[in-house]
Amino acid sequence: MCSTFYTPDLISQSCLLFRPVNICCQSNYKQIDSVKVAHISAVVMLRRSDKRKDRVEISPEQLTNAAIQADKLTHELGQPMRVLGWYHSHPHITVWPSHVDVRTQAMYQMMDECFVGIIFSVFTEDKSTKEQQVQVTCFQSTNQSPEGEAPQFIRLEVPLHIKPTTNLSKLCLQSMVELPEILFQEEKDSYDLTTKLKFLSVLAQLNNKAVLTKALCHITEVVSGPLVTALEQRKATNVKKYEELLQEKQKLISLKSCS
């Protein structure tokens, strides 16, 4: 009798990055400004086509859909947009790209030399303070092998600057809402595959249901719960700021009427 089990993966995610592009015939629509600064304006969340812990793959279909999404963003944002790069997370491990990440990045650069990769290291803590840390790196790949020899790609660091903002854009909120849904659907699809197997033992069925439940609880604990808490805190802050502005408005009106 066949007993097939499935196990959930660590929560990680891959996305494609979008940036505005200035139409320029001489640069074949690859315009980056004179100091070679690319501006990331939006992201689109992707479902993982390969859930192995050392793999982050983006399928051709996802790249095609990303190009379609870029067209939609062009209309929504009122400026031409194109795909700039990709990013994924490293849960519980170092931020530096693996040999697989470097090779994947090199492949994307064959299609577009301006393509960049970004990695976030999450769920790690400082050994001395025990505080949670989030690290980020931006990189490209470069071949260090002499001409004619098999390529050996290494990481090339790309300076990354994060511009603070006081507002959450509609696109950002959309991506935040989509993430738990994507993670849920990935686990559900993995579970559904096991239900189609013939001669699955009762023990295996019970195990798979329990694993699915545990995986969904884990998503709620580390993604949905903190996300709702953060948005509630942000709402409370905005409400307080709104009330303070109303009070300031009333003071200004009173001063104006007195004068």
How does pLDDT run along the chain (259 residues), one tens digit per residue? 233 333 334 344 456 655 554 322 222 333 344 457 777 877 777 777 666 666 666 777 877 888 888 888 888 878 788 888 888 888 888 889 988 889 989 988 888 888 889 998 887 877 788 788 888 999 999 998 888 888 889 999 988 888 887 777 777 788 888 888 988 988 898 899 888 888 888 898 899 999 999 999 999 998 899 889 988 998 999 999 999 999 999 989 888 888 7
Q: What is the pLDDT of residue 50?
A: 64
Residues in CB range of 164: below 8 A, 6 or more apart: none
Phi, psi dihedrals of residue 194, rounded to the nearest 5°: -70, -25
DSSP string for 102-153: HHHHHHHHHH-TT-EEEEEEEEEE-TTT--EEEEEEEEEEEE-SPTTSPP-E
**Virtual CA dihedral for 52, 191, 219, 116, nearest 10 degrees?**
30
Structure tokens at 15: 């996305």
Distances in whole angstroms, Cα of residue 206 to Cα of each of 6, 194, 195, 241: 11, 11, 11, 51
Cα–Cα distance, 198 to 219 (Å, whole number): 29
Say if strands 81-91 and 116-125 run parallel, antiparallel, or are unpaired.
Answer: parallel
